[in-house]
Structure 1
């Protein structure tokens, strides 16, 4: 690769001259098309609504109101338009008796809603002007909103993007999940170690949600199953040992450009009789509330630690709780229009299982149809197989859930009976027909896994009970067919399909990067947030020096903003003129944050050996949470923080290298990091990342990908072109071949001096003075632990690819061109396209624009 004389510093200095400020970008629509979109209210009228809510809803007045009160008043004022749209949408769906998809997901990582709703309603500029007239700054008020952190990572953020697209495309849909009181957790660092604290996102209420007590459901647990005989026909009756109330909270999901407003319905758990007066009056003041406390635990926190039997039981109950409530709600809504005529149920109802967490909805619908409505097994099963479809998100065995039969017998005895019956029918009627007399195949495909302890395989249940199963990127879907479920694919060749993931450009470009959105508006049609393929019009500008300068000016201003945020959160000072290298995702070994860490250690060592070592100044930025019980993941966070502490305070390296792990990574922090990123780290072991969506968000905002041929990286590289990303490392087939012949990580440790040096560094107390070996668990996992994710095998290729990054960044013109082309070619990764694929291949929905 040739290197031009243009330096990074020169490039960024030129960029500074063409700065586009954030406020200017947000204020000024650039084209006639953009200005033609009229807000539904004037700034003056909106001021009146805000003041009305400040006084009448918040009970305060202008001179006294806090920023939190101003944010809430503004949200309530905007909510008037949201609720009007919701009412119109619901009337339309009722009038036309629409087919709808019911999207069941344990996670919905919604983030903040005010900014997103303002953009989708074309109220952002009007609201800014209205608040300025009242002496308030919209940017400041947006920071008052807590994140709706009802998810952990890509799974939950994907679900949020899909809800946005469904509403925008006027497709009838309801999202179903859990109304977690605390979400995942709020992450803090204490001496570099992750500390989890409750994430009380709705401690003071949430202006966007509405409680719907009229739609509350009763959910049964525990107890026993009785077999009764009516003549010669047996009937199973479940005598529950406990009943929980599921109370729904609805969050409106606003479509873009005046489209539908759908709902996300989240279930809160409450006790049916939550206070025992007799016990209280007898002096049992705590015991009187025991049932309430036990019931509320179900929706208390996302993903309780399941290392204990009690934790496993709670997770299974959580999954059943929201599935049972959702199925009951779906049936209630159907019967409201159709009574007990079930012929139209599969025509009007589609249920999408987002991963295996909601798989228990399959036997639950069977239970409802058979036990509550006396439907014959054959008819009930026929309905279920037409209604359900399943999205697989992982090839990792530990992520394909299994529950012990013992736990099912205790918590859901009736469902275990139904699963046994589903399994018996499947094995005797379908598996035996395909592979006659093959008991080994039956054992392999059985929903019940035989072993030391019998297990219920939720992945198998999801495949057997669904009419379609999809992976989330082409390579992932291929591996689902060939590696994960090859026998199921042989049995049902048309069942397994692909729907590549996507992201909503409304939030992940227009809302989070207003400077870039304004620049794009100047050069292509302003309806690009609806038709992302129109970004291809920017390709013609990729070689335009003036446009390159403007594009990189936007990037630098975003970096300046992030520099301030980094200092506010951590006290660490970094330069916006450095290359910003970003890895933001859930902390997991297969995502290989520790590969990134080893390369940082190698760079640091090179700088110490040679202070004149020639490298572009670089800031490595991390954002990640580790599951509370995932000890090695937490050790990796600790190691990154301790290495950062040493590097950032080492004057010998002249500020060429900085490392920052930002605390409490979440959607609102991602919205600040992604627009500022120069490099997108997508370095999972090939074959392990199903798709990824962070890779799409970063590329859309002009970051260049350094990544393996894994997940959607492959399709991103195809769209952008190999010259505009940095692909390295083992392929899926090479990983398989390496495993087949026997992988020994010591081969790399013994023969690569740099690998050996950085790993031995982790054994010392260099980064943890007085605590030798405090970081050694990472080294041990890579050597004694067998390096299951091939970190050492890919290290040298990764290091070489990073040299190419460094070299290209020195050529400001070449880098700008590649950044522009990344943004211009990400149209495929619009979640609208993903949803259209679901509509065409799986759901078969029809769009119904709301009547208004």
Structure 2
């Protein structure tokens, strides 16, 4: 619903009347949209046309509930939470909307009567390319849960015209192609050309004393870009609540410069317009260059500047006193990317609304909260002060003033402790000085949370120990969660049908109901139904692999899955070492009764991350050798599935038998892929890292295959307590594998290709302890083989994984945020 003004007595009062959800009403809507939206008749309509028609029919029904939801929030003057995130990986919306609205079966029925298939139609829908990995998938889950729990929740982000990239594999290498997800339009979004805000860059700051004797700052001579809103409805499950995701696109503050155009310089005429609109063109520009880093910073400010203006506009439409803002508004920062919102709110309160510093700061801290998503020091975002000074001079001045006042408080508490001041300062010394965005987010928020118990503990004890001492209790834990609506009900209909038949549909809105499966773990009929669902998912994935990659895999084999962003700390390289070791063992002892295994790896590497891209090449080179060796190919297959996204995840995860969660202990904040895989009946093979620890505690140690160093031992070794070269020399199998990689066994035409990976392991200290965990990892894989051979035992383990995953619902996560951090309550309507 467009919100350019507040509903009131002078507004048109719409009747509370919803379009029907019955087959006849849906069929009439399809006919109307076929004629009046796509202007086709059934003889000429394509599957894409039918997707558009079906989407609009569902959208009509969402709009009615969306408008009533918005009216309810205004009518109740409800406190609202605004979730700011650079990523929202929503996936496809057609099936999700139909399921959440309770009309999936009716849609299937109506389309079947027309000789159509909902499954075929949905394949024409593009994934919304608004994210890269777990950050965006988490944000999407939380929006789903907010709407399902009927909480007044809004998402805010950027409407990227192109996603990160489409990943193609050419000769084993990752090749990036534009991800033009909007090529055919997006029927779910609503452009709001009337919702337009100026966003400034550059210029200078003028300081003066106004007529009232008040010291004042004014930002002048800045370049202006306009932010225009696009709204997307987010439906809850089994409720009429439909919340809003508002995404910003950049528009030039001036259109074509006709002076240049009329002089014949057409390129210059559009140069300024294109430069402005590049802000929302692509997700995560390559930050390997100064221009790329500058564009990234401008993106972050662009979206928070528009968002904070929009939030204040909405608040002031119904309230006069900004001191009451924290009572009606909660702004949540999903990682540090939106942290400039703290400085932006301060700027607006000080410069536009003339509040004094103390009042503005009190409002800001009470309004903001922040989720940290990383333990890696190199991943904690910082920005060069000179870049901020050039692009956002007023904000840098505000950050310096926040820092000055903050450090003064620290001096009072710890006089003479210069080292502590250096550690906690919002500005890190160096050439150049850099602004620490996590420090800004912590100091400027009333609550900070980690996303798993171990992660939050390490934040308090190690990463932000100084802040924990300064603000006891500010850093808390809220473990991540996932939505079962997307990750079983939609992604795994085979399992959903089994669950519905045995325990009813209550689990879709209350995941704790899965606990009822425990009593069925040894029931032969249920075990058979559960196993049949898994096998059908494996057959489906095998068919997709055959169709798209031309490779044959055996659905009877153990499907061993590692799907996540390619990064050294996630240790896909450790998995590759294990694959090669298994390959060598099978060749050496072909008579052994090997458990047939299909290893499935998927994930994107950042375009500028050379080693991650080299790992992808190694996976594909190893797969080429293994899959073409007749001595092992019936017992070991390796498949790299390209372009991992939400839809691909929904194809892979329901088919997984074994979930690889093998990050170095102390590096993964939480993970949500680990939750999705366990929820779909995969047994986790993992380290005690992130949420793995809580998953293990929930499902039982006997249903979790643990291996590797714990956090304390890993920290000790990473600090220089091990010699990776000595480890390799002392382990014959490991040494053989490394020599095969380094000697060109998998790259005969380029024997030096993988030397950088070996140098990372042997000469640069093996920072992620791949070699240190190698032997324990092999032993864990052997345990997985032993368990998988016992079909009934494995099936029971898988069932208990599903049964005990109730607490990992994003519904629980959102309830904790609402009660402990945001202070928001449900605002239902009929």
Give the TM-score taking structure 2 as reference length. Answer: 0.97
Name the SS of the counterpart of 1:214 in structure 2. strand
Determine if contact 2:20/2:26 at 8 Å carries over to the other structure: no
Query: Does the Cα contact within 8 Å between 2:150 and 2:239 map onto a contact in 1?
Result: no
1:525 CA displacement: 3.3
Q: How has the CA–CA distance of structure 1 residues 40 and 732 changed in structure 2, closer, same or farther, with 3 Å as cutoff?
A: farther
Q: What are the within-5 Å matches in structure 2 for residues 478-627 of structure 1?
A: 478-627=457-606
* Equivalent position to 1:52, from 32, 35, 54: 32
Aligned counterparts of 2:373 and 2:671: Cα–Cα separation in 1: 10
Give the secondary-structure state (helix, strand or coil) at the position aligned to 2:120. helix
- 1:212-291 aligned within 5 A: 212-230=192-210, 232-291=213-272
Task: Find the counterpart in structure 2 of residue 83 from structure 1.
Answer: 63
| In 2: Cα distance, 1:491 partner to 1:160 partner | 33
Q: Distance in 2 between matches of 1:824 and 1:405?
A: 51
The aligned residue for residue 4 of structure 1 is none
Answer yes or no: is 1:334 the counterpart of 2:315: yes
Q: Secondary structure at the match of 1:251?
A: strand
Distance in 2 between the 1:392 and 1:663 partners? 29
Q: Distance in 2 between matches of 1:292 and 1:486?
A: 46
Q: In the alignment, is the contact (CA less than 8 A) between 1:39 and 1:126 conserved in 2? A: no
Stretches of 4+ moved more than 6 A in 1? Answer: none
* Unaligned segments of structure 1, at least 5 residues: 1-37
Select which of 427, 435, 456 maps to 2:407: 427
Return the offset for 1:398. Answer: 1.7
CA distance in structure 2 between the aligned counterparts of 1:233 and 1:843, rounded to whole angstroms: 34
**1:79–1:692 CA distance, 2 compared to 1 (3 A):** same
Structure 2 partner of 1:14: none
Please tell me whether residue 173 in structure 1 is matched to residue 153 in structure 2. Answer: yes
Q: Which residue of 1 aligns with 2:323?
A: 343
Deviations 1:790-812 (A, max 9, x none): 00000100000000000000001
Distance 1:763 1:740 in 2: 26
- Conserved 8 A contact 1:345-1:383: yes
Q: 2:141 pairs with 158, 161, 166, which one?
A: 161
Contact conserved, 2:718 with 2:769, CA < 8 A, in 1? no
- Deviation per residue, 1:153-193 (Å, 9 max, x gap): 11110000000000000000110000000011100011000
Q: Does 1:670 align with 2:656?
A: no
1:40 deviation in Å?
4.5
CA displacement at 1:436 relative to structure 2:
1.6
Aligned to 2:280: 299
Cα distance in 1 for partners of 2:432, 2:726 equals 38
Cα distance in 1 for residues equivalent to 2:448 and 2:221:
33
Counterpart in 2 of 1:96? 76
Runs of at least 5 residues in structure 2 that lack an aligned partner in the other structure? 1-17
Contact kept, 8 Å, 1:39 with 1:123, in 2: the verdict is no
Alignment of 1:698-709 (within 5 A): 698-709=677-688
Aligned length: 812
Write out per-residue CA displacement over residues 484-519 of structure 1, whole angstroms, 9 at most, x where no aligned residue. 000100111110100000000001011111111111
Contact 2:626 2:633 in 1 (8 A): no
C-alpha distance in 2 between matches for 1:378 and 1:614:
73
- Secondary structure of 1:522's match? helix
CA distance in 2: counterparts of 1:632 and 1:666, whole angstroms: 21
Q: Offset at 1:654?
A: 4.3
| 8 Å CA contact 1:355, 1:392 repeated in 2 | yes
* Contact map agreement 1:359 1:458 (CA 8 A) in 2: yes
Asked if the contact 1:569–1:662 (Cα under 8 Å) also holds between the matched residues in 2, the reply is no
Per the alignment, residue 810 of structure 1 pairs with: 789
Contact between 1:112 and 1:148, CA under 8 Å: does it hold in 2?
A: yes
Residues in 1 aligned to 2:421 and 2:171: alpha-carbon distance in whole angstroms: 52
- Give the Cα separation in 1 of the matches to 2:104 and 2:447: 40
Q: Within 1, Cα distance between the matches of 2:237 and 2:333?
A: 25
* d(CA) in 1 for partners of 2:720, 2:235: 53
Does residue 189 (structure 1) correspond to residue 169 (structure 2)? The answer is yes
Determine the structure 1 residue equivalent to 2:187: 207
For the pair 1:474 / 2:474, whether they are aligned, the reply is: no
**Preserved contact between residue 512 and residue 675 of structure 1 (Cα < 8 Å):** yes
Distance across 2 between alignment mates of 1:353 and 1:274: 33
Aligned partners of 1:745 and 1:783 also within 8 Å: yes
**1:60 & 1:229 partners in 2: Cα distance?**
66
Q: Structure 1 residues 366, 527: closer, same or farther in 2, change over 3 A?
A: same
Report the Cα distance in structure 2 between the residues aligned to 1:406 and 1:493, rounded to whole angstroms: 33
Name the residue aligned to 1:403: 383
State the shift of 1:233 in Å: 3.5
SS at match of 1:528: helix
CA displacement at 1:419 relative to structure 2? 0.3
Deviation at 1:769, TM superposition (A): 2.8
- Residue 704 of structure 1 contacts residue 818 of structure 1 at CA under 8 Å; is this kept in 2? yes
Larger displacement relative to structure 2 (607-616 or 149-158): 607-616
Separation in structure 2 between the aligned mates of residue 668 and residue 849 of structure 1, nearest angstrom: 31
Q: Which moved more, 1:647-656 or 1:711-720?
A: 647-656
Per chain length, whose mean CA-contact separation is higher, i.e. which structure has more relative contact order (CA < 8 Å, sep 6+)? 1
The residue number in structure 2 matching 1:724 is: 703
* Helix, strand or coil at the partner of 1:651: coil
Q: Which residue of 2 aligns with 1:845?
A: 824
- 5 Å-filtered alignment, 1:296-445, equals 296-339=277-320, 341-428=321-408, 430-445=409-424
Q: Distance in 2 between matches of 1:216 and 1:642?
A: 50
SS in 2 for 1:394: coil
Secondary structure at the aligned position of 2:826 is classed as coil
Q: Is the 8 A contact 1:177 1:266 kept in 2?
A: yes
SS for the counterpart of 1:150 is coil
Deviations 1:701-727 (A, max 9, x none): 000000000000000000000110101
Query: 1:642-674: CA deviations, max 9, x gaps?
Result: 111111111111410000010111000100111
Q: Give the conservation status (yes or no) of the 8 Å contact 1:212–1:248.
A: yes
> Contact between 1:99 and 1:347, CA under 8 Å: does it hold in 2?
yes
Out of 774, 796, 799, the residue aligned to residue 753 of structure 2 is: 774
Q: 1:143 to 1:230 in 2, by over 3 A?
A: same
Q: 1:633 aligns with which of 604, 612, 615?
A: 612
Secondary structure, aligned partner of 1:791: coil
Q: TM-score, normalised by structure 1?
A: 0.94
C-alpha distance in structure 2 between counterparts of 1:115 and 1:654, whole Å: 37
CA contact (8 A) 1:39 1:121 kept: no
1:311 aligned counterpart, secondary structure: helix
CA shift for structure 1 position 227: 1.1
**Take 2:19 and 2:148, find their aligned partners in 1: how far apart are those partners?**
17
Match of 2:427 in 1: 448
SS of match in other structure, 2:502: coil
In 2, Cα distance between the equivalents of 1:212 and 1:740? 53
Give the drift of 1:416.
0.4
- Give the structure 2 partner of residue 655 of structure 1: 634
**Could you tell me how far 1:740 is from its partner in structure 2?**
4.2
Tell me what 2:737 maps to: 758
Moved more, 732-741 or 116-125: 732-741
